[in-house]
Amino acid sequence: MSSMPIGMITLVIVAVLIFFGIAQRILDRMRLTDKQALVYIALIIIGSFINIPILRGPVEVSINVGGAVLPILLVAYLLYRAGTGKERIRAVIASVVAGAVVSIIPRITPIQEPSGFFMDPTYFYAIVSGLVAYLVGRSRRSAFIAGTMGIIIGDFVHMFQLFYGNIPGRADVGGAGAFDSTVIAGIVAVMIAELVGETRERLQGGPAKHEDALEKGLNTKFELNTPQNKLKSDEEQKAGDRLE
């Protein structure tokens, strides 16, 4: 019996963390509820078995529901819920950079010959995309968006290379679904953002101050809504969006 792919293992671990509330803070910063996240994971697993043929011929193109369609929809939702226009721009730039790096990898590494490479290409693409996504995107949302889109953009670049090079072949956008680099890359990017980013922010006193502000806001929510209080609340909200 073959072992469970790491993509599926990753999704199961994330689902467990969400179920027990351990990932609540990350989900809050990504504007997702526990139920939304668990439904999304379940849909990815189901959608992994659905491939939609796009083109037939010398170059065959298909798109996987769990590996591409659903991640793109989630990315669109996160972009819509992003705190600022600057964050949206940063996420788009990070996605393009991650996609470019993923596309360059086959040209500068022996990854096309897996037997001579030190790591499974699926995981290598995911880790590289996740690292680039965090370094450029910085926030949790931006990192997840860029990590996910970096792999999908890389799939589209491969497709265009086949078309414009008149090379017979097959392009599967998000082809492996829950087992694809797309899913792993987004999770890796968020993990890096949480571990590295949170440590950096703690040293700068950012999150602690923001949490204190939120707690204070809860304790005083029945106070008179004066212009001064409203201005202070708006400033705290903007500070929270910048930290995310």
Q: What is the pLDDT of residues 156-191, one digit of tens each?
A: 998 998 988 888 988 888 876 555 678 788 888 888
CA–CA distance, 7 with 83 (Å, rounded to integer)? 29
In the chain, the percentage of residues whose pLDDT exceeds 90 is 15
Contacts of residue 143, Cβ cutoff 8 Å, sequence gap at least 6: 94, 130, 133, 134, 137, 189, 190, 192, 193
Distance between start and end Cα atoms, the chain: 43
CA 162 – CA 88 distance, rounded (Å): 31
- Dig out the tokens for 127 from the structure: 């880790």
Residue 58 CA to residue 81 CA, distance in Å, equals 41
- More confidently predicted of 21 and 143: 143
Q: What is the mean pLDDT of the chain?
A: 76
Angle between helix 140-164 and 70-80 (nearest 10): 130
In the 3-class helix/strand/coil scheme, how is the chain assigned residue by residue? CCCCCHHHHHHHHHHHHHHCCCCHHHHHHCCCCHHHHHHHHHHHHHHCCCEEEEECCCEEEEEEHHHHHHHHHHHHHHHHCCCCHHHHHHHHHHHHHHHHHHHHHHHHCCCCCHHHCCCCHHHHHHHHHHHHHHHHHCCHHHHHHHHHHHHHHHHHHHHHHHHHCCCCEEEEECCCHHHCHHHHHHHHHHHHHHHHHHHHHHHHCHHHHHHHHHHHHHHCCCCCCCHHHHHHHHHHHHHHHHHC
Does the pLDDT at position 96 exceed 90?
Answer: yes
Residue 17, pLDDT > 70, answer yes
Q: Is the pLDDT reported for residue 95 higher than 90?
A: yes
pLDDT at position 82: 80
Q: What is the pLDDT of residues 27-82, one digit of tens each?
A: 777 778 888 888 888 888 888 888 999 988 888 999 999 889 999 999 999 998 88
- What does the pLDDT look like over 122-141, one tens digit per residue? 778 888 888 888 888 877 88
